[in-house]
Structure 1
């Protein structure tokens, strides 16, 4: 759904790589100005002044002080989730505050907004997703994002006795932080994993396996039936990382995964779970369990092949049900499989799920109405709009229990059940959010070679450690750490 970069395939010119890096806010970062200790807007006004100027009288119904009649501008990523859910919330904002919401739905967040950010005229709310997203780490360090703490502490749109923070998954509160500042609201809650058609499994008499070894056995049986066991979007190899990273954490435990997130020395090379998982994918490639041509396909092309029953499994996120709907057979019965057991001594139990907040929303401190931007997010986090999101895009939000009482589509029902049954065993990884160039480009390149059989597992791990060490030693890269 949301490609962010990819390994340079043969024939891609260096200028294209520079263009892609610029779209990520990497090559373009110097244009945003040097990092400073103060939060000064590009237009010359301080961030605190901008927020204060957009704030009106507060009341129990308007706890943030959104000004009546003052327009709000929203830039929404229009990818696999579409943007109609945001338009619905914007309509309620207009009805409540008599203010127009200027809406742009696009898949080119970075290219369209970098000139505006550099000129001091960003929109108020940005859904910073997609292939061309902005570098939130840089923007946060430069003070360009509003501290959303007041939003978390505000009463919900539904219940004045309940704070917004108390309605959200705990991982939403953790993932949205840069240091001590909560400045990114991940609106969706995505279940990552191995997706499949329950109809296909039932028709063939197959059952989703419980272990890596069981998956290899099933793949052998599937291949004998003339179907490819797996497909993956080789243009965006990090799709496979969602399975790889989740499996490593499930088998090895959270503490060892935190070492990887925190760029600790030998975090990859001393991790037996990483070796076990990467060797599993090496074996999958050696036995040709991947659909031919996968290395050259995009995510949507891969999903279409999968919908046509050319492959049984794909690595993906829970947005896939909405994104792939145009090509999905009506009786497909999409489902997601939980993480597989690596052996008898896994650190986390069967049923563990890689499920975490996604779809990052930020409020621009240099915007003309940042208070209105926060209020729009408060409306989006209401039960009404959380359920509207679930109905429209077949995905969860970061609002807990928001699907209760709803009739769910097959994929959403499967994802919702996996989260409920996973309980406290929900894995969150920060490596890709903190260091996208490391994961999507450098480690992504290794994964491309792994899945085509062009690199051995031991070399993947050795080089992944080398690339992580280089980032850790690079003083120009802002580092983050987590303890849980």
Structure 2
């Protein structure tokens, strides 16, 4: 509503992104995260945040945007496209009589790395996709605008209500680097197991409630001549959307937070890790994945899924928009909640991974950072939150913005499981804080697990070792969460 969502590129490019997302795992020719981290920045930003753009501060212009001040926006053009941003930019242009330069791209990092180094970044960036900028590095170097200025401004719909009052609390938490709120995750993504309700209904199958029921159903599906699962084997970290959350559901958020915090033995001393990774080992051993999945991109796996060559797909709620070109009419795209591991699960049935995605940042070094924040304020209006839902079939971080709207099948399903989950929501920081670890290192291990090249015990041992390496690497900034 996204992974971001992390979000994703077109054919041949994966999510980051991680979130997005969401770096790719080295199977495509892109700069490595290490390269982007090393040369994305050219030193610290301004000592003071930009709090006024030189214009008169009024109720309608709380940030003080200067009339006629040009704006430059760099928007990731992947699974969500970029028209929603263009629509908001048009309102900025109309309101302030200013020229807006828009760039829609899948190459955010490569195109903006030299600009940050040169001290001339754009005013606002949707930093998603496989080739994203290293936000942790940018934040630690003081190059990102603290968006508390935006949060404390009056909202577009009701100037008496601050922007922060309209945003989902998880968004306010996820966008922090230490004490600064410098990343606005605009979308809200539902991650899970996606399927065609029509296919299940036609075959008389029910979406499973437990891991054991899923294994049993996979046997019935295979007997019917259909592959139970597919996944984008070129970017196997997509499987982490489910795998990580399933561990948290069974073992509890406290134990998952230990993993996020790179604590000693967080993987090897967690029974839920063993249960979930062994579940995927069993799926692989019984050949419950579509043959050839290991060579598919995310687009190709979604196409196979749309063609009913496989029943289940691990993904985020951007998938409805991204796979629209190949989704047949009446497909009834749906998403299911996480599976129960047993009676001892730490979280109840109906628990769900749902969290902010699609990260927007405002560089301090841009020519018009206040204009960049104003564009975000426009995007956070009900008008543009609903426009986003209509155009890309995803929710934003604006609470209740889609009430009364007629939703597409996938978005309607995602909204229902989100509502049913209540407070039983799971958020994962590991992929946001350490994308090279999760997407390249752990993703590579997951790829081997799903092809049967390694067993669960080896996956767990090596995953712990990779996390330990990151923990001991002083060149990597560490983050810590308490909840």
Q: Per-residue displacement from partner, 1:400-451 (whole Å, max 9, x unpaired)?
A: 1111000000000001111111111111100000000110000011000000
Distance (Å, rounded) in 2 between the aligned partners of 1:53 and 1:192: 38
Asked if structure 2 preserves the Cα contact closer than 8 Å seen for 1:56 and 1:65, the reply is yes
2:200 corresponds to: 201
Offset of residue 33 of structure 1: 5.5
Number of residue pairs the alignment of both structures matches? 465
- Trace 1:54-65 onto structure 2 (pairs within 5 A): 54-65=53-64
Residue equivalent to 2:37: 29
- Counterparts of 1:31-50 in structure 2, within 5 Å, are 31-32=39-40, 39-40=44-45, 46=46, 48=48
Whether 1:6 aligns to 2:24 is yes
Distance in 2 of aligned mates of 1:110 and 1:477: 18
Cα pair 2:52 2:65 within 8 Å, conserved: no
Q: CA deviation at 1:55?
A: 3.5
| Equivalent residue, structure 2, for 1:43 | none
Secondary structure of the equivalent of 2:85? Answer: helix
Q: Which residue of 2 aligns with 1:149?
A: 148
TM-score by length of 1: 0.94
TM-score (norm 2): 0.94
SS in 2 for 1:429: coil
Q: Partner residue of 2:418?
A: 419
The separation in 1 between residues aligned to 2:423 and 2:398, in whole angstroms, is 16
Q: 1:195-234 alignment to 2 at 5 Å?
A: 195-234=194-233
| Partner in structure 1 of residue 76 of structure 2 | 77
- What are the within-5 Å matches in structure 2 for residues 52-451 of structure 1? 54-451=53-450
Runs of 4+ in 1 over 6 A off after TM superposition: none
CA distance in structure 2 between the partners assigned to 1:131 and 1:254 by the alignment? 27
8 A contact 2:24–2:130 mirrored in 1: no
Query: In 2 relative to 1, CA 370–8 (structure 1 residues): closer, same or farther, beyond 3 Å?
Result: closer
Q: Matches of 1:47 and 1:188 in 2, distance apart? A: 30
Answer with 200-209 or 54-63: which moved more.
54-63
Runs of 5+ unmatched residues, structure 2: 1-6, 9-13, 17-22
C-alpha contact 1:6 1:237 (8 A) present in aligned 2: no
Mapped contact 2:42–2:116 kept (Cα < 8 A): no
Structure 1 pair 311/32, CA: closer, same or farther in 2 (3 Å)?
closer
1:112 partner SS: helix
| Aligned equivalents of 1:100, 1:185: Cα separation in 2 | 24
Cα distance in 2 for residues equivalent to 1:135 and 1:30: 9
Measure, in 1, the Cα distance between the counterparts of 2:40 and 2:209.
49
Q: Once the 2 structures are TM-superposed, how far is the Cα of residue 58 of structure 1 from its aligned partner? A: 0.8
Q: Deviations over 1:355-414 (max 9, x none)?
A: 100000000110000000001000000011001100110001111111100000000000
Cα offset for 1:54?
A: 2.9
Shift of 1:111: 1.2
Q: Distance in 2 between matches of 1:152 and 1:287?
A: 51
CA-CA distance at 1:119 after TM superposition: 1.1
Distance 1:56 1:256 in 2: 49
Q: CA deviation at 1:31?
A: 3.0
CA distance in 2, matches of 1:30, 1:319: 30
Unpaired segments ≥5 residues, structure 1: 41-45
- Contact residue 55 and residue 371 of structure 1 kept, 8 A: no
Q: 1:256/1:206 Cα in 2 relative to 1: closer, same or farther (>3 Å)? A: same
In structure 2, do the counterparts of structure 1 residues 351 and 120 end up closer, same or farther at CA, with 3 Å as the change threshold? same
Secondary structure of the 1:187 match is strand
* Cα distance between partner residues in 2 of 1:428 and 1:237: 19
Contact 2:156–2:381 under 8 Å retained in 1: yes
- CA distances 1:119-147 after superposition (whole Å, capped 9, x unpaired): 11111000000111000000111111100
Looking at structure 2, the residues matched to 236 and 113 of structure 1 have their Cα atoms a distance apart, in angstroms, of 24
Q: CA deviation at 1:311?
A: 0.1
Q: 2-side partners of 1:32 and 1:130: how far apart?
A: 16
Instruction: State the Cα deviation string for residues 197-253 of structure 1 (Å, max 9, x = none).
Output: 000001000010000000001000000000000000001111000000110010011
Q: 1:448 to 1:197 in 2, by over 3 A?
A: same
- Partners of 2:25 and 2:57 lie apart in 1 by 49
- Calculate the aligned-residue CA RMSD, in Å: 1.3
